[in-house]
Amino acid sequence: MPTLYMLIGVPASGKSTWVEKNKGDALVISSDNLIETYAADIGKTYNDVFKGQIKIATKIALEHAEAAFAAGQDVIWDQTNLTKKSRASKLAIVPTHYRKDAVFFATPLEEEWQRRLNSRQGKSIPAHILDSMVEMLEMPDPSEGWNIIEYYMNAK
């Protein structure tokens, strides 16, 4: 049975590290990866191109997901997926024969979170936006249709 792994968490909470360790043959859907690739191709940073590329990257990521589902591939959806509403719109396109696993990443403690955020060259998010993301973050709930919910609590 093909599986969707939807990663849920604020930036720098461990999602991309989880992908590196668990990718296998799954297709990774990530608007950030698309933006980073585009930026590198033109010799710029993520921050330089984000505003001009986020809408197109989100559209392309959705197209990649639809193609992967049509092909029956395992998919890792590596975006913040902070709210039940944002997850529901993505889950709506997942075929019914797919297994749907949520992988939730708690926000790290402040010092560790700042260390992670500061380690990302050319990629920064204003503090007020990070604060709003923390406020918006909703833990996944079985009522969303998950087969399994994994929790990574970021004890550091």
d(CA 139, CA 137): 7
Is the pLDDT assigned to residue 107 strictly greater than 70? yes
Dihedral sign, CA of 128, 77, 26, 45? negative
Q: Return the bridge partners of 100, or none.
A: 4
d(CA 35, CA 79): 12
pLDDT of residue 124: 87
Instruction: Dump pLDDT digits (tens) for 53-62.
Output: 999 999 999 9
Q: Which CATH architecture has domain 3-152?
A: 3-Layer(aba) Sandwich (3.40)
Is the pLDDT assigned to residue 143 strictly greater than 70? yes
Residues 49, 35: contact at Cβ < 8 Å? yes
> Token pair of 137, please?
């973050």
Residues in the chain: 156
Query: pTM for the complete prediction?
Result: 0.93
The secondary structure of the chain in percent helix, strand, coil, rounded to multiples of 5, reads 50, 15, 35
